[in-house]
Structure 1
């Protein structure tokens, strides 16, 4: 005979969820803004660059940041990075390439890499030329993603967000010329150390 089913009380479910999220490095935060314009409020375009790979134009990248944005501390500030695709790509391929680039910036536990890959694969759609995926870094919360201005979802993990945006903004990026083009307008205006 099977034991009767007893649902967990709501408080126990919330405690269990907070334990799971806490151990996975995920953060719980307020719901993301439903539109890109709301998510980028106060942000202005500060730089653009084009990614070419093996002679093919892949996407144009645009960095959005508030006045006073400091590239040396990008992970501590809110900003947006928009990729305007110039060719058709599969979402799974975008996710795979992203995790490979993230692994080039830091050592990632294999189980963590699999969780992040699964999260990106679930979020990133197949894109056509002209589609725009914009990521918004919310410090202490994670990354929020928008397709053509409409919310796709988020990865509520600050460590993920720092490494993901590091693909373009870290000094260890595999595309230093692209990074330079994205931040060029800020480099000349950055305050100098005494």
Structure 2
């Protein structure tokens, strides 16, 4: 989860960059919740979840914004994604294909970078860095399993998950 934590690390580097990251969230989405992931002594990212209703509903489109608070290599993000799927016991014959696709477009993260996953109306996952579309994974199953890393009740970081989904 440290790698996933790294993936989710979010922090604002400058007001201009923060604004461009915010601009990637559709105007008809509202904030559901937010959290900061810290592991041991390190702040990894700030995560914010958005949805059209402003509430967490599993079957509603989601947008997950991660503002990173530290540098993270893309390979570490990929490895952590795979580890988190294993811990959540999420199986798919597509995992290798999805991870290869992510390797094609995920960047190395620098402190202050922002990544956004936007679930499309078709259930696909679009990844943005600031306002730039990095790539799309055209699979509802991928989108569900990727978001489960943060949103599943079995997520490794239960308190942070609850803050994201607005649970009391």
TM-score range, shorter chain: 0.7 to 0.9
Aligned to 1:41: 27
In structure 2, do the counterparts of structure 1 residues 139 and 104 end up closer, same or farther at CA, with 3 Å as the change threshold? farther
Cα distance in 2 for partners of 1:124, 1:81 equals: 15
Tell me which moved more, 98-107 or 117-126: 98-107
Unmatched tracts of structure 1, length 5 or more: 1-34, 189-194
Aligned to 2:155: 173
Q: TM-score, normalised by structure 2?
A: 0.79
**1:99 shift after superposition:** 1.8
- Does 1 or 2 have the higher relative contact order (CA < 8 Å, sep 6+)? 2
In structure 2, do the counterparts of structure 1 residues 68 and 125 end up closer, same or farther at CA, with 3 Å as the change threshold? closer
Count of aligned positions: 148
Q: Deviations over 1:115-135 (max 9, x none)?
A: 111111112100111100000
Q: TM-score, normalised by structure 1?
A: 0.69
Point out the structure with max Rg over C-alpha.
1
| Moved segments of 4+, more than 6 Å | none
Matches within 5 A, 1:70-149: 71=56, 73-74=57-58, 76-109=59-92, 111-138=93-120, 140-149=122-131
